[in-house]
């Protein structure tokens, strides 16, 4: 008589599905705690905080990015991208303005908007050093809060073109002369109207109703 033994495979564990919390403008602390717990349970936290001398697993690193991007809404991702934009030394005004215009299209795709004041502030805050004198002049003589984005681009492009025409001389001296001329022009344009409030670099109020460079009282 033969005996047949019945062996059964051990039951497989069902994988646990975790739902990532969605980041908002007000829940970062609790969002970060929950995300750490979820990624630790999935064995992914080591990709964010690897042990000393241990190489990060590429597959786990990709999965970690996927988890994080799943939990961040598109508008917050785009806001981060917008804030990270800055003008490079070898870029022209047209090239940098093109990047900002591209962000307008991305915002529109998720039913969000970038208004002129945000765009002008970003344009002025992140231009390279050679435009600083002109930006300071426009802060003093123009109502930057009401300035259209296209107007701000036009003034910077005109200044850029003038600098190119004077490359044979001293760049610093030419910049100051051009800034002075630009300021006199804007002063004449605004002579019949009260001077508007300009928006400064760090939000502090300066003299002439404008805003100062360092956020304090000038």
- Structure confidence by residue, pLDDT tens digits, 169-198: 544 555 555 555 555 555 555 554 444 444
- Please check whether residue 83 lies inside any domain of the structure: yes
- Please check whether residue 11 lies inside any domain of the structure: no
pLDDT for residue 157: 94
- Please check whether residue 2 lies inside any domain of the structure: no
Q: Are residues 115 and 151 in the same domain?
A: yes
Q: Are residues 65 and 84 in the same domain?
A: no
pLDDT for residue 176: 55
**Measured CA angle at 15 (ends 12, 20), to 5 deg:** 175
- Please check whether residue 134 lies inside any domain of the structure: yes
pLDDT for residue 73: 86
Q: Are residues 138 and 68 in the same domain?
A: no
Q: Are residues 147 and 186 in the same domain?
A: yes
- Please check whether residue 179 lies inside any domain of the structure: yes
- Please check whether residue 200 lies inside any domain of the structure: yes
Q: Are residues 201 and 108 in the same domain?
A: yes
Q: Are residues 93 and 127 in the same domain?
A: yes
pLDDT for residue 211: 45
Q: Are residues 164 and 199 in the same domain?
A: yes
Q: Are residues 65 and 120 in the same domain?
A: no
List, for the chain, all residue ranges whose pLDDT scores fall below the cut of 70. Answer: 1-17, 168-218
pLDDT for residue 8: 53
Per-residue pLDDT of 44-76, as tens digits, reads 888 888 878 778 788 888 888 888 888 888 888
Q: Are residues 91 and 198 in the same domain?
A: yes
Residues 6+ away with beta carbon under 8 Å from 91: 128
CA atoms of 95 and 153, how far apart (whole Å): 11
Q: Are residues 108 and 200 in the same domain?
A: yes
pLDDT for residue 202: 42
Q: Are residues 65 and 101 in the same domain?
A: no
When divided into structural domains, the chain yields a total of: 2
- Please check whether residue 104 lies inside any domain of the structure: yes
- Please check whether residue 4 lies inside any domain of the structure: no
Among 78, 55, 75, 59, residue whose Cα is nearest residue 67: 59
Domain that holds residue 37: 20-49+58-72
Q: Are residues 79 and 44 in the same domain?
A: no
Exposed / middle / buried, residue 175 (Cβ in 10 Å: 0-12, 13-18, 19+): buried
């Amino acid at each position: 008589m033969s005996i047949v033994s019945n062996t059964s495979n051990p039951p497989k564990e069902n994988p646990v599905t975790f739902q990532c919390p969605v980041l908002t403008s007000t829940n970062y602390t609790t969002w970060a705690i929950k995300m750490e717990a979820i990624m630790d349970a999935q064995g992914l936290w080591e990709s964010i905080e690897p042990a000393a001398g241990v190489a990060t697993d590429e597959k786990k690193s990709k999965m970690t990015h996927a988890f994080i991007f799943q939990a961040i809404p598109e508008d917050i991702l785009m806001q981060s991208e917008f804030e990270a934009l800055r003008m490079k030394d070898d870029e022209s005004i047209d090239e940098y303005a093109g990047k900002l215009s591209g962000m307008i299209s991305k915002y529109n795709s998720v039913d969000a908007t970038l208004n002129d004041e945000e765009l002008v502030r970003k344009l002025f805050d992140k231009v390279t050093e050679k435009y600083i004198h002109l930006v300071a002049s426009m802060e003093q003589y123009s109502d930057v809060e009401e300035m259209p984005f296209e107007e701000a681009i036009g003034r910077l492009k005109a200044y850029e073109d003038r600098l190119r025409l004077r490359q044979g001389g001293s760049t610093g001296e030419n910049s100051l002369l051009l800034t002075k001329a630009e300021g006199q022009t804007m002063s004449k344009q605004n002579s019949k109207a009260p001077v508007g409030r300009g928006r400064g670099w760090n939000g502090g109020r300066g003299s002439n109703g404008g805003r100062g460079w360092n956020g304090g009282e000038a």
